[in-house]
Amino acid sequence: MRDYDSQTYGRSFADVYDDWYAGVSPVGATVARMLQLAGAHGRVLELGVGTGRLAVPMTEAGLSVTGLDVSPDMLDVLRRRDVARRVSVVVGDMVDDLPDGPFDAALVAYNTIFNLLEPERQRACFAQVAARLAPGGRFVVEAFVPDDEVIHGAQVTVRSMGVDHVVLSVSRHEPATQRADGQFIEITESGGVRLRPWAIRWAAPDELDAMASAAGFAVEHRWADMTAAPFDDDSSGHVTVYRLGGTAAR
């Protein structure tokens, strides 16, 4: 998509993210999972922390959370939500600007790893996270499972509709590059038209596993979601726990 850069998504979605995506994944289950993996007062690095949907509840549960995001717009929302200022905020990129560790665990939730638009950047993210984790630390990756029969060509759907507004989703998918670009087109009676662009580069679980392995990780767990539902061939998403220096699960 022409002129799309690393801060476009945050500028486009910060004002609606909490309304549109509040229930996109189970917050309570995520907090419980990170407590289990990082320890009761563990140090957690969240990549693409956004508005703090997960980071703030994690700190309220006792975890020490550092949240990194490239978008000042998203982080402004986080700061308004985090009235106790428990989350340590870092403005920066998921590859180039990771803070010094060591951390007990890192989390990249709900497809955020795919916001890195080149495979080289995704591989570099795994390596940079590995360099910030304590020995035996975990990197938790939550993402959708690509469906080759669905992800192709152009798609137009209705996201939401009311008497005074409609939100259309328009997207183009390129399987050869594993790239999708899209726009949410928001049309309101009072405000006219608002465009909210997005872009991702998707990767299947086995490709992510290879990136992780190259960085010194092994798969410790793979579930269908944060509740630890079993992962199988019909799962539309996965939560994979990579352990630094670990032995691959059997």
51 part of a folded domain: yes
Per residue in 57-103, pLDDT tens?
999 999 999 999 999 999 999 999 999 899 999 999 999 999 999 99
Whether 54 and 100 share a structural domain: yes
The parent domain of residue 160 ranges over: 156-200
Number of Cβ atoms within 10 Å of the Cβ of 22: 11
Rounded to 5 degrees, what are φ and ψ at 54? -105, -35
* Range in 2-11, 14-23, 29-38, 41-50 the model is least confident about: 2-11
Whether 140 and 56 share a structural domain: yes
Whether 234 and 224 share a structural domain: yes
User: What stretches of the chain show up as alpha helix (H) in DSSP?
Assistant: 8-13, 17-21, 27-38, 55-60, 72-81, 119-132, 205-214
Domain count for the chain, please give it.
2
Number of Cβ atoms within 10 Å of the Cβ of 187: 14
Whether 109 and 175 share a structural domain: no
Q: What is the pLDDT of residue 249?
A: 58
249 part of a folded domain: no
Whether 119 and 180 share a structural domain: no
Q: For the chain, give the percent of residues with pLDDT over 70.
A: 96
2 part of a folded domain: no
Whether 87 and 206 share a structural domain: yes
Per residue in 192-246, pLDDT tens?
999 999 999 999 999 999 999 999 999 999 999 999 999 999 999 999 999 999 6
